[in-house]
């Protein structure tokens, strides 16, 4: 499993981050999941574009 070194806010130090198995199937064009977890404590980063849905409530018209 490939790892990357990043600062972990929980460990308060530079730690190795690894990609856990991705059961969701949301990999990018390089085959990487956007989730990276600290190998020490499990703190996770989510990298890349995150699709955001915005709930809008219907607006009524004034009479």
User: What residue spans define the domains of the chain?
Assistant: 3-26+35-46
Cα gap 63→58, rounded to integer Å: 16
- Is the pLDDT confidence value at 33 over 60? yes
- Of residues 53 and 17, which shows the higher confidence score? 17
What was the pLDDT predicted at 11?
Answer: 94
Tokens of residue 24, six digits: 């969701």
Cβ-contact 19, 32 below 8 angstroms: yes
Helix (H, G, I), strand (E, B) or coil at 41: coil
Q: Read off the pLDDT of each residue in 20-37 and give the average, rounded to a whole number.
A: 75
What was the pLDDT predicted at 20?
Answer: 80
Does pTM top 0.85 for this prediction?
A: no
């Amino acid at each position: 499993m490939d790892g990357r070194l990043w600062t972990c806010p929980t460990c308060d130090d530079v730690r190795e981050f690894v990609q856990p198995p991705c059961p969701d199937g949301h990999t990018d064009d390089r085959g990487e999941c956007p989730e990276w977890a600290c190998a020490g404590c499990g703190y996770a980063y989510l990298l890349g574009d995150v699709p955001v849905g915005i709930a809008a409530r219907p607006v009524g018209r004034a009479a």
